[in-house]
Structure 1
Amino acid sequence: MKTKTIKYCLASCAVTNKLHFSIRVLSQMRCLSKTVSVVKCSTGCSVRNYVTENDGSYFFNKMAANRKPSELREIATLVAKLPASAINLGVGYPDVNTFPFNGISFELVTGECIKLSDKELAVALQYLPSLGYNLLLNKLKEIQDYFHGPQDWNTRGILITCGAQEGLSKSVDMFMQHGDPVIVPQPAYAQALDLFRAYEPDFIRISQDANGVVVDEMQNALKTRKLNNQPMPKVMYLNPTGSNPAGNVIADSRKREIYQLACQYNIVILEDDPYYFLNFLEKNPASFLSMDTEGRVIRLDSFSKVMSSGLRLGFATGSASFIRKMELAMQNSSLHPSSLSQIMAYKLLVQWGIEGLKLHFERVKKYYRQKRDHMLRAVEQNLSGLAEWYEPTGGMFLWLKIKGLEDTRHLVTSTCLAKMVIFAPGFAFATDTKKPSPYIRISYSVASTEEIDKGIALLAEAIREELKSIKTQ
């Protein structure tokens, strides 16, 4: 008989509540007939009512449940652990001696030069295990331990991905089934919505304000669905820091409430957080990963915003069972992200160390904070009375509501383009892109200060033209 390990917390809570909750969730997981091993979590746990199943099978869709290891990719993982003296007659790798590269080095903006050794060059030019370059994986574990608290790497894992987007794609494809309900912020990252749309989901839209998603609204939505016997979501998607497009950061207090709701209703949190180190707060916000006592968070990080978007490197951190299923999907899709990119990132992280990495993050953060501040001055000067906004607390975007316009579609796709200034229309970040939206997203990342000033002034002109056109209709 298969044994399931069920964790529970007795800190400051009633045992009777725990038992009732345990029975409900176990029944939902359909494992009542299996032997249950109960383990008490640490008394410092901030989350009270929770029960989880180690193998995560309740959350997997049929496709993920049916995934089996690629035998040859599993062998490749074993081969990577063998000494160089091993005689390799088994893998279908090309010989690196036939490649036209004799050496690779790169220069940093500080003038330092990093050169790959012959051994590193051979690794950079060859296939890697699907989880990623082992030395880089170890570095990433150090980074997660430092910024999000010590992790139990016996029960958690990391998968190196082609940007955070691939990690998100693998997660969505692991959990979603046709017509499933899913919790998303409103507005939301457009490419995330596109991933979910393939499953024709029932979107549970949660409004946002300057402090992130509105928890009361989420709580009411879940409670109502439960009372009405509607299908309950297994997944919630959140972009918690410097949200794209809203530019907000979910307050730590709200995160704790959201995590408690996830535990109460047995939901996995997809923490898509590529802008984490571009927050403008006095200290880094607490992550959902740092609160995760149950293994119900998949955290998606990226080097795209802080190292290079062209490297196409990200990494997913989560329950070992979730990461394993994502690895199996990787084995039969892209195999792994670029070996050269992984080696470059590893060499850079070794060169910097944690302190050097922190200094780099601070430089990047300062740069975008200054760009944000300049954008806000230009918006205040040109758009007061024409639009509403709140100050972005992270990321690269300002979310602007145009007064007097029900829909900004024509403003952005016609009037502004005619003036050679580009914005993103609000409808692109909605679950239903056909509905009108009075919002636009302004990016302050790549435009110069002069371009920002000119672009916002042109936007003001365009808004006035749109409003005048409406009045004359």
Structure 2
Amino acid sequence: MDSDYFFNKATKQRKPSVLREIANKIFKMSKGSINLAGGFPDVQTFPFQEFSFKLRTGEHVRLADKELAVALQYLPTLGYGNLLTKLKEIQNRFHGPQDWNAKTILITCGAQQGLAYAFEMILERGDPVIIAEPAFELVLNSLKPFEPEYISIAQDSMGVIIEDIENILSTRRKHGWSMPKVIYINPTGSNPTGIVMPNDRRRELYRLACEYNIIILEDDPYFFLNFQKENPISFLSMDTESRVIRVDSFSKIMSPGMRLGYVTGSTEFVLKMEMFVQNSILHVSSLSQMVAYKLLTTWNDQGFDAHVARIKEFYRQKRDCMMRAVAKHLGELAECCEPAGGMFLWLKIDGLQDTKRLVTENCLEKHVIFAPGFSFGSDHQKPSQYVRVSYSVASPEDIDRGISLLAVAIREELLMR
């Protein structure tokens, strides 16, 4: 695959930072080498002597001496080498052995930064882009500056409809219209629908990407929050042509405040994205990276799996609580599909063509907050019958109370028609 085809003009003009490349060499220096190049502050001037934290499972983790020095100092832009090694092990374990001679990983400031840089790397103003709607608003906001031609694909209870994508691509090729270079997909426990795309559809979508020479931007922050017996097959796991850019996040399994995500893809793509980081934030927080590394090494595979299992069960119980409240209070007022993962319920309000007033006025007056459906579409002026309901942080009592208030608000809206 010709990776150069996917780089926009600005990306092709970007060059690696000379000073950052020198810094990378410094980290690889052998003992006894003399560093007179890097603008590194001396760790002896830092006020911190030790950091420590305690895990919920009881282990105490300590950062001191050389590890603390690393956690407080500049790092290579790609990320802390030991953490990158652990992440490669995770990707190999959950997505099959990867060819790390042809692929690599970039640690980003949350998954959102990785997505934004991928769009900035590929898109020119006005380019067509395939996107499943509804989609997470911040992703749509990342696309807006490019004024793209949205090729919006409808979703059913199993995600994007492959036949629709194939028909659109076939028609565009037949008429000689501009072809999209990227498909954005949030395949597991998607925000806002909670859908987990089945494996057969994933394989068909990858087949289309290969046939029409398209990059799949796989945004998968809820991968470990799916409620199925087995994890779904990722696009990364089936990628034989290096056309998948996979974006993962620690926000849902460690902490969003750590601001840690990571991008996995072909070396050509990831090193181009590295230049965006070089010229903006240099690298992601060294302290956050070291904390993540210490946590992963403290857990090892068994501890990591146990932690993920606890998280899945926690959100599964929250999901079940939400579904009971919906059945109890909404009845014929609304309809939905049970979320197969993630943190959200995508609720269609029957009898209302637009839920904007319901959510932004009526529900707020009752001191209950939901996300209006229109905010998950590329056109915010287009009315939506949907409401996104989050079950992640509310208590069982608040979930029941909140849904009961929603039912009252819906009935009031229906009376006002």
Structure 2 length normalisation: TM-score?
Answer: 0.99
Deviation at 1:455, TM superposition (A): 0.2
- 2: CA distance between counterparts of 1:385 and 1:174? 47
- 2: CA distance between counterparts of 1:282 and 1:389? 22
Partner of 1:358: 305
- 2: CA distance between counterparts of 1:146 and 1:116? 27
Unmatched 5+ stretches in structure 2: none
Partner of 1:282: 229
Letter in 2 for 1:212: G
Partner of 2:98: 151
Partner of 1:225: 172
- 2: CA distance between counterparts of 1:225 and 1:388? 35
2:44 aligned with 1:97, yes or no? yes
Give 3-state SS (helix, strand or coil) of 2:209's partner. helix
Aligned pairs for 1:71-470 (under 5 A) are 71-470=18-417
Question: Does the aligned pair in 1 maintain the 2:49–2:64 contact within 8 Å?
Answer: no
1:236-272 Cα distance to aligned partner (Å, 9 max, x none): 1000000000110111000000000000100000000
Deviation at 1:87, TM superposition (A): 2.0
Deviation at 1:83, TM superposition (A): 3.4
Question: CA RMSD, aligned part only?
Answer: 0.7
- 2: CA distance between counterparts of 1:394 and 1:84? 48
1:293-331 Cα distance to aligned partner (Å, 9 max, x none): 000000000000001111100100000000010011111
- 1: CA distance between counterparts of 2:123 and 2:134? 20
**What is the number of equivalent residue pairs in this alignment?**
417
Question: Does the aligned pair in 1 maintain the 2:132–2:184 contact within 8 Å?
Answer: yes
- 2: CA distance between counterparts of 1:337 and 1:102? 22
Deviation at 1:84, TM superposition (A): 4.8
- 2: CA distance between counterparts of 1:86 and 1:164? 36
- 2: CA distance between counterparts of 1:453 and 1:232? 47
Deviation at 1:117, TM superposition (A): 3.0
* Percent identity of equivalent pairs: 60
Unmatched 5+ stretches in structure 1: 1-51
Structure 1 length normalisation: TM-score?
Answer: 0.87
- 1: CA distance between counterparts of 2:319 and 2:165? 30
Give the 4+ runs in structure 1 shifted more than 6 A.
none
Aligned pairs for 1:14-93 (under 5 A) are 52-53=1-2, 56-93=3-40
- 1: CA distance between counterparts of 2:172 and 2:324? 44
- 2: CA distance between counterparts of 1:237 and 1:448? 33
Rg comparison, structure with higher value: 1
Letter in 2 for 1:246: T
Give 3-state SS (helix, strand or coil) of 1:150's partner. coil
Question: Does the aligned pair in 1 maintain the 2:193–2:346 contact within 8 Å?
Answer: yes
